């Protein structure tokens, strides 16, 4: 068999996996979830779940990938449990669905980079007019998908790893620049207070539930992205410390994204913090208005930098989403990487068209579906989000962990983790995993899955 390629070093893997994790979920999703979830209390719950729930799943996915040396579907076959490869197939499907709409949003961000860069702040006044202009935004999306396919076609060390090693540091540098700028604005501190001082009266079941879902999506779990990346990891690398660093990088960047955004919101709302209602508008409407109110060249530079940063973050994530089906095609159907990458990118782009046109342009896809007991209709893009992110990911994660602990067996996970991690045998992590993997994590994930289906699709009120 031809070589599948691999990461050139542990640092290369960590950069790529952290690049996958850090994406729209951190810079777009996290702040608006914080806004909707009552501020700092959400942040606390989120941090808790990243380590308690997500960290074990991450270790498991990487271990399955490295042991099997195969894609998300082939991994189950290689471990001798072909019957379970449906779990990998759900993962490949989730990857395709997520990428299909994710790329549309990335295309908007790409478009905003140009608009704000050229001083057109008015674009934010009528966001629907912008998204309805499907030929323009569709072209931005297409360019984005081409960039993604290009990187994936260049392979693991020559494409994915190289891109992440450039994009990730650039992104961190840009966010820090914006954090410093935003902290010096008038009323910045009121935003920070909302973000950092927990108001325990806002604690609710919904906060817990949304924080779990957000943590899971943000860490790229539940669809085999990390099984796939894990299959390119060297045998001598330490899985536990890698997973810890990836989690810290993801959490850290989400955290500083909040440090950048909430001072801006404190500023625009004169310290009242109105408009922190959450929702996608936070990034595409509120923030550009802030850049507009700063105005002039400074406003343009800030605005364009922010959206360029969002694109960089999205690109290392779209690459990991595309890699899942691509490595499946390469391993199982013997396609060349180049062919698989361009073919898959084309298919995904087409699947994304209803999400593209369902934001004002096509009435049918804009008012796509009305869930039971819902007052309003849901557009196609949100429908795919509810299906893939909110439902398939927790389901997939639950099945992956259940499989690993009960079918592949905990001893085998431990044996794989121990390679490259000499201290693992006696560590606290090992003890924790012996409770988390067989019981705690599958139960929590099954609960999120069932609750999401009931709440989202059937309007059940808890």
Question: In whole angstroms, how close is the CB of 439 to ligand PHE at the nearest point?
Answer: 25
Question: In whole angstroms, how close is the CB of 221 to ligand PHE at the nearest point?
Answer: 7
Question: Residue for token digits 């140009």?
Answer: 114
* Residues in contact with ligand PHE, shown as a per-residue x/- string from 222 to 261 under the rule CB under 6 A: -x-x------------------------------------
Q: Is residue 217 part of the contact set for ligand PHE (CB under 6 A)?
A: yes
Map the footprint of ligand PHE across residues 290-329, applying CB under 6 A. Answer: 317, 320-321
Question: Residue for token digits 């914006």?
Answer: 178
The DSSP secondary-structure symbol of 378 reads B
Q: Would you mind telling me the total number of residues written for the chain in this entry? A: 462
**Around 66, how many Cα atoms within 13 Å sit in the side-chain half-sphere?**
28
Question: In whole angstroms, how close is the CB of 250 to ligand PHE at the nearest point?
Answer: 7
> Considering only CA atoms, which of 22, 107, 89, 34 is closest in space to residue 307?
107
Q: Which two tokens stand for residue 445?
A: 């994930």
Beta bridge partners of 378: 369
Residue 53 CA: distances (Å) to CA of 91, 252, 397 = 19, 17, 10
Q: Is residue 218 part of the contact set for ligand PHE (CB under 6 A)?
A: yes
Q: Which is nearer to ligand PHE, 294 or 385 (CB)?
A: 385
Q: Which is nearer to ligand PHE, 326 or 421 (CB)?
A: 326
The DSSP secondary-structure symbol of 279 reads S
Long-range contacts, 181-186 (Cβ 8 Å, 24+):
181/302, 182/259, 182/260, 182/261, 182/263, 182/264, 182/267, 183/259, 183/263, 185/263, 185/264, 185/266, 185/267, 186/267
Of 18-26, 132-140, 287-295, 451-459: span binding ligand PHE (CB under 6 A): 18-26
| Sole binder of ligand PHE in the list 10, 16, 17, 20 (CB under 6 A) | 20
Q: Which is nearer to ligand PHE, 38 or 95 (CB)?
A: 95
Q: Which is nearer to ligand PHE, 217 or 349 (CB)?
A: 217
Q: Is residue 25 part of the contact set for ligand PHE (CB under 6 A)?
A: yes
Of 24-32, 292-300, 399-407, 422-430: span binding ligand PHE (CB under 6 A): 24-32
Sequence-ordered list of residues with C-beta below 8 angstroms from that of 18, at least 6 positions apart, any chain? 164, 168, 245, 246, 249, 250
Q: Which two tokens stand for residue 262?
A: 């909430």
Measured distance CA(110)–CA(284) in Å, rounded: 12
Of 219-227, 335-343, 372-380, 429-437: span binding ligand PHE (CB under 6 A): 219-227
Question: In whole angstroms, how close is the CB of 316 to ligand PHE at the nearest point?
Answer: 9
Q: Is residue 148 part of the contact set for ligand PHE (CB under 6 A)?
A: no
Q: Which is nearer to ligand PHE, 213 or 266 (CB)?
A: 213
Question: In whole angstroms, how close is the CB of 190 to ligand PHE at the nearest point?
Answer: 27
345 contacts 146 by C-beta, under 8 angstroms: yes
Q: Which is nearer to ligand PHE, 257 or 404 (CB)?
A: 257
Q: Which is nearer to ligand PHE, 385 or 421 (CB)?
A: 385
* Residues in contact with ligand PHE, shown as a per-residue x/- string from 59 to 98 under the rule CB under 6 A: ---------------------------------------x
Map the footprint of ligand PHE across residues 423-442, applying CB under 6 A. Answer: none
Distance from chain centroid for Cα 455: 22
The DSSP secondary-structure symbol of 45 reads H
Q: Which is nearer to ligand PHE, 23 or 358 (CB)?
A: 23
| Sole binder of ligand PHE in the list 220, 228, 231, 452 (CB under 6 A) | 220
Q: Residues in contact with ligand PHE, total (CB under 6 A)?
A: 15
220 contacts 247 by C-beta, under 8 angstroms: no
30 contacts 38 by C-beta, under 8 angstroms: no
Measured distance CA(322)–CA(64) in Å, rounded: 19
Q: Which two tokens stand for residue 104?
A: 């549309």
Site for ligand PHE, rule CB under 6 A: 20-21, 23-26, 98, 217-218, 220, 223, 225, 317, 320-321
């Amino acid at each position: 068999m031809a070589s599948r390629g691999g990461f050139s070093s542990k640092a290369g893997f960590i950069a790529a996996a952290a690049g996958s994790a850090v994406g729209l979920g951190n810079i777009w999703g996290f702040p608006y979830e914080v806004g909707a979830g009552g501020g700092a209390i959400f942040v606390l719950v989120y941090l808790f779940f990243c380590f308690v729930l997500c960290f074990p799943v991450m270790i498991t996915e990487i271990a399955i990938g490295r042991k099997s040396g195969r894609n998300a579907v082939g991994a189950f076959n290689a471990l001798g449990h072909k019957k379970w490869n449906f779990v990998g197939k759900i993962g490949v499907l989730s990857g395709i669905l997520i990428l299909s709409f994710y790329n549309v949003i990335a295309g908007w961000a790409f478009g905003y980079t140009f608009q704000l860069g050229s001083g057109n702040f008015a674009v934010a006044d009528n966001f629907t007019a912008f998204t309805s202009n499907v030929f323009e935004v569709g072209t931005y999306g297409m360019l984005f998908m081409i960039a993604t396919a290009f990187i994936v076609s260049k392979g693991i060390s020559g494409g994915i790893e190289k891109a992440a090693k450039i994009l990730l540091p650039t992104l961190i540098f840009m966010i820090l620049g914006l954090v410093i700028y935003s902290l010096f604005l008038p009323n910045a501190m009121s935003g920070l207070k909302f973000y950092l001082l927990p108001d325990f009266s806002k604690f609710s079941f919904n906060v817990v539930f949304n924080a779990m879902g957000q943590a899971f999506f943000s860490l790229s779990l539940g669809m085999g992205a990390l099984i796939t990346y894990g299959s390119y990891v060297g045998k001598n690398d330490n899985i536990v410390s890698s997973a810890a660093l990836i989690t810290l990088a993801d959490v850290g960047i989400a955290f500083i994204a909040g440090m950048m955004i909430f001072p801006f919101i404190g500023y625009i709302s004169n310290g009242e913090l109105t408009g922190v209602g959450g929702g996608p508008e936070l990034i595409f409407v509120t923030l550009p208005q802030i850049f507009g109110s700063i105005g002039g060249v400074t406003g343009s530079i800030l605005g364009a930098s922010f959206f360029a940063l969002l694109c960089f973050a999205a690109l290392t994530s779209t690459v990991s989403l595309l890699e899942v089906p691509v490595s499946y095609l390469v391993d199982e159907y013997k396609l060349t990487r180049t062919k698989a990458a361009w073919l898959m990118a084309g298919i995904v782009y087409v699947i994304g068209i209803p999400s593209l046109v369902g934001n004002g342009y096509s009435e049918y896809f804009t008012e796509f579906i009305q869930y039971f007991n819902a007052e309003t209709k849901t557009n196609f893009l949100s429908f795919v989000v509810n299906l893939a992110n909110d439902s398939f990911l927790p389901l997939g994660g639950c099945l992956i962990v259940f499989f690993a602990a009960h079918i592949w067996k905990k001893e085998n996970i431990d044996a794989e983790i121990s390679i490259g991690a000499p201290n693992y045998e006696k560590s606290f992590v090992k003890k924790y995993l012996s409770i988390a993997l067989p019981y705690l994590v599958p139960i929590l994930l099954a609960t999120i899955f069932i609750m999401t289906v009931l709440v989202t699709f059937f309007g059940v009120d808890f």
